[in-house]
Amino acid sequence: MDEEEKKPAGCGLLVLYNTVFRRRPSPASPRRSATSNSTASVSSAPNSVDNGSNHSNSKRRRPIAEQLPAASPSPGPDLQKALVSPNSSKPAIVHPTSDKYTPAKRDTRPRVSGISTDLDNLIYDHQRAKGSSMLVRASSGNVMLYSNLGNLRAPGAVTPNRNVLDYLPKTAKEMKSAAVMGRGGRGGAAEGSEAPVSMCRALSKRLDPEELKEMGNEEYKKGRYAEAVALYDRAILIDPERASYWSNKAAALIGLGRLLDAVQECKEAVKIDPCYFRAHHRLATLYIRLGEPERATNHYKLAKNEASAKDLLQAKAMQVLIGKCSEARKLRDWNNLLKESQTAISAGADSAPQIFAYQAEAFLMLRRQEDAEELMIDGPKFETDASTKFFGAPRNAYQLSVRAQVDMAAGRFESAVSLAQLAARIDPSSREISAIARKARMVASARTMGNDLFKASKFEEATLAYGDGLNHDPQNAILLCNRAACRSKLGQLEKAIEDCNAALNLRPKYSKALLRRADCNSKLARWEASVQDYETLAVQMLGDEAVCRALQEAKAHLIKQKEEGEYKGTS
């Protein structure tokens, strides 16, 4: 009885093992059935069943003693001592075929139970395999790659500790405090250094909308209009019933050249506060720039003290000028149209597509194609749908048709066809625009056919193809120059020079026509005319070796021709 009392109690030992040295099972371990007695692994799956009891618990792990093989029903005294030794920092594993034990590596996997266990194991395996902690948990059912996530921190990440509030543009008061810290404060930046400006802090809901507005004002004064728009947007999101936020955003959009968007913001401002005079004045100014003097007059009146008598006179004068432009176009008085449209632009309609279209059309009809092209390059351009909604279908279709004609004159035939067809779809009732679209298709088709024939060395057929395109558009300098190339190949040098002259009358800086005419004059031994053309080309095409070489050769032939003429004269 004494010896039996000295034996350790089995239940107490099992409880101690289970409490102190319970190990997490490997997710890759196969699940065991409740009736399996022969196991070779040390740990069992979480859902294994205790064979020695009449009830089961799917989330209990069997004690280590129960997991030992049948050949070793209980550990010896030495092994028991080692397992429960207070100096041991790691649990022990008993090998099935030996009484020896070896320390096991501590399992550092996150101990999470439930449906997300597999996900945590997956993340753990990824971190061990890649040697990094770039994969972090976003929620119970998602993962995300850790990168520049503001103040979100991944376990073990080495990126600096950032906070989105550190990157919001500083107010004057904050910048002053930062400067004091930089001179002598603890942990401050060096004097004269400035923290990188980012819009991340602008998204913080902790900021007051008035503070956001003031920060937007500071960005606006610095000319950083996109940043100002973002700050005003945030203020509007927090408090959309403040008309000043919308009006200030309109000012920033004007700085970005987004006038139609600015109009919408001003409309929202006066809708919120009909007595917001500054917004009415800003809206009226936008209407003047966009060539809408009637609307401008209405809002100048609503602006009351914000608008002066000069503003009202400007709107009235603009209305008169636009009326004169419309009348001159109806009369096909292109010189007068050119004059009145230029006056309207100088008077304030610097972003009115219709006024620019009037002037460009006048240039085209006066055979000043290069001037028309330069004007449309610098002219206002708006998104098609927004422009149609604001100006109306007929006016937007008209300015698109003029752009199509300018592109066709410049040799951008595909773009011309696209714009002309778009204009015809916007205003299908206009016969004039439909005719322009039809003309663009015919000219583009003729040019394509002529180019294909020229490449196939069928110069006679190519001449006829280009001629067919010129029947639809006699003033097309590109087709004239292409036909001159065909005639030069056919030896029709005089006719080629005539085509080049016609093209240069339309486009004086057309280098291809100049080069072709210089070559034809060289073949006709007209060295003086050839030298003049090559000298012009040398200025236009600085550094072009072929042009410089051709110029030197033409000059040499001219000198020789003059010497021979003098010699013949003395004889």
**Would you say 354 and 398 are in contact if contact means Cβ atoms under 8 Å apart?**
yes
Instruction: Give the position of tokens 């039996």.
Output: 4
Query: What are the residues whose beta carbons fall under 8 Å from the beta carbon of 510, sequence distance 6 or more?
Result: 477, 481, 503, 504
- A 10 A CB-CB count for 165 gives 13
DSSP category for residue 45 = -
Element (H, E) at 139: strand 135-139
Positive or negative: CA dihedral 353, 359, 362, 368? negative
Query: What are the residues whose beta carbons fall under 8 Å from the beta carbon of 258, sequence distance 6 or more?
Result: none
Name beta bridge partners: 10.
Answer: none
Positive or negative: CA dihedral 447, 449, 450, 455? positive
- Strand 135-139 relative to strand 142-145: parallel, antiparallel, unpaired? antiparallel
Query: What are the residues whose beta carbons fall under 8 Å from the beta carbon of 376, sequence distance 6 or more?
Result: 356, 360, 402, 403, 406
Identify the pLDDT of residue 129.
Answer: 61
Q: What is the CATH number of domain 334-516?
A: 1.25.40.10
**Would you say 8 and 80 are in contact if contact means Cβ atoms under 8 Å apart?**
yes
**Would you say 166 and 194 are in contact if contact means Cβ atoms under 8 Å apart?**
no
The three-state secondary structure class of 164 is helix
Identify the pLDDT of residue 120.
Answer: 64
Identify the pLDDT of residue 388.
Answer: 95
Identify the pLDDT of residue 453.
Answer: 96
Domain boundaries, the chain: 1-106, 167-178+197-307, 334-516
Query: What are the residues whose beta carbons fall under 8 Å from the beta carbon of 471, sequence distance 6 or more?
Result: none
DSSP category for residue 142 = E
Amino acid letter for position 531: V
Identify the pLDDT of residue 326.
Answer: 95
User: Distances from the Cα of 179 to the Cαs of 83, 198, 211, 384, 558, in angstroms?
Assistant: 62, 19, 20, 49, 74
Torsions phi, psi for 139 (to 5 deg): -160, -175
Q: What is the CATH number of domain 167-178+197-307?
A: 1.25.40.10
Query: Angle, to 10 degrees, between the axis of helix 225-238 and the axis of helix 243-255?
Result: 160
pTM: 0.64
Tell me the pLDDT of the chain (571 aa) as tens digits.
444 444 444 544 454 445 545 544 444 443 433 333 433 333 333 333 233 333 333 333 444 334 433 444 444 444 344 444 444 444 444 443 444 444 444 445 444 444 455 556 656 665 666 565 555 555 444 444 434 433 433 444 443 444 433 444 444 444 444 444 444 443 333 333 343 344 555 444 457 899 999 999 999 999 999 999 999 999 999 999 999 999 999 999 999 999 999 999 999 999 999 999 999 999 999 999 999 999 999 999 999 999 999 999 999 999 999 999 999 999 999 999 999 999 999 999 999 999 999 999 999 999 999 999 999 998 999 999 999 999 999 999 999 999 999 999 999 999 999 999 999 999 999 999 999 999 999 999 999 999 999 999 999 999 999 999 999 999 999 999 999 999 999 999 999 999 999 999 999 999 999 999 999 999 999 999 999 999 999 998 888 899 999 999 999 999 988 887 654 444 4
**Would you say 413 and 442 are in contact if contact means Cβ atoms under 8 Å apart?**
no
- Structure tokens belonging to residue 62: 């069997």
Positive or negative: CA dihedral 325, 329, 331, 335? positive
- For 372-422, what is the HEC assignment? HHHHHHHCCCCCHHHHHHHHCHHHHHHHHHHHHHHHHHCCCHHHHHHHHHH
* One fold for 167-178+197-307 and 334-516: yes
